[in-house]
Homo-oligomer: A and B are copies of this chain.
Amino acid sequence: MHIVLIGAGNMGTHLGKALHQAGHKIVQVFSRTRPRAEKLAKLLGTSYTTQLHRISDEADLYIVAIHDDGIAGLAENLSSRLSDKLIVHTSGATASTVFDGYFERFGAFYPLQTMTVGKAVDFTTLPICIDAKKPADADGLFDLAKTLTPKVYRVTDEQRQMLHVAAVFVNNFSNHLYHIASDILQKENLDFDILKPLILETALKVQHAEPKDMQTGPAARGDQQVIERHLKYLEEFPEYKKVYEVISGGIFK
């Protein structure tokens, strides 16, 4: 499959590398930011452009890995030349129907993982959620995803958007809890290292069990004395106290 990759940020870079390593031909990289476009194109042994009207019309698949806000505008811009091509975006938050009216064949190709610049992403353990308007395109995307990972899911727009909400809870929000803990420890001159094994074990425990069956701690036990004491300690962190109250309330319920 000949692919044009639109976007050279975290997602574009990691996905581009994975596709390239799996033997797919990236015919071109687009990014408005020249250094990014150039760097990724070099990595993938291909050409690049920073101008929308220079995007190649010789690919089978256009993968849009840019900020959600930019997808609709891009679709409108590209539709005059490429409206018969298959176009997908990699976003959890945007419906694939963002392409409707501009393209005949569209879908989503959503790798569900957190991607950071400079940290390798193992696509072989990562789920990819795909969907497309036309069944034949969905089959094609499914097969493409299967060349990257065994974990491919057919997920509707609506499901993917709820999946993205759930991903925000387990990724961004858990990470914020880690940050709160790190901040509390710093104020006590304690090393964040002390908590790292606990963080890892908490994530490992739910790999083979339901989270609700793994819950422990003062809120799960309904231990009001400890909860009251914790809230008192948190008085110097009013924002963290609020988080404590809201989540403890949810656990205790």
Contact = CB atoms under 8 A, between A and B. Distances in A.
Interface residues of A, number: 93
Contact of A163 (B185, B202, B242): B185
A91 to B, nearest CB: 9
A2 interface: no
A208 to B, nearest CB: 9
A134 B224 CA distance: 31
A155 interface: yes
Q: How many copies does the complex hold?
A: 2
Contacts of A193: 127, 151
Interface string A174-199: 11111111101101111111111111
Given A112-B198, A216-B114, A239-B253, A226 B175 contact: no
Contacts of A54: none
Contact of A218 (B93, B127, B233, B239): B93
Contacts of A243: 169, 173, 246-247, 250
15 contacts: A69-B225, A93-B226, A112-B198, A114-B198, A116-B205, A116-B216, A127-B197, A153-B191, A162-B190, A168-B217, A169-B180, A170-B202, A192-B210, A200-B203, A239-B253
A170 B190 contact: no
B166 A195 contact: yes
Nearest to A246: B246
Contact of A198 (B113, B155, B158): B113
Given A112-B197, A158-B188, A239-B253, 16 more contacts: A93-B230, A114-B198, A114-B205, A151-B193, A162-B184, A166-B182, A170-B178, A170-B199, A172-B220, A172-B247, A173-B244, A176-B247, A177-B177, A178-B206, A179-B212, A202-B203
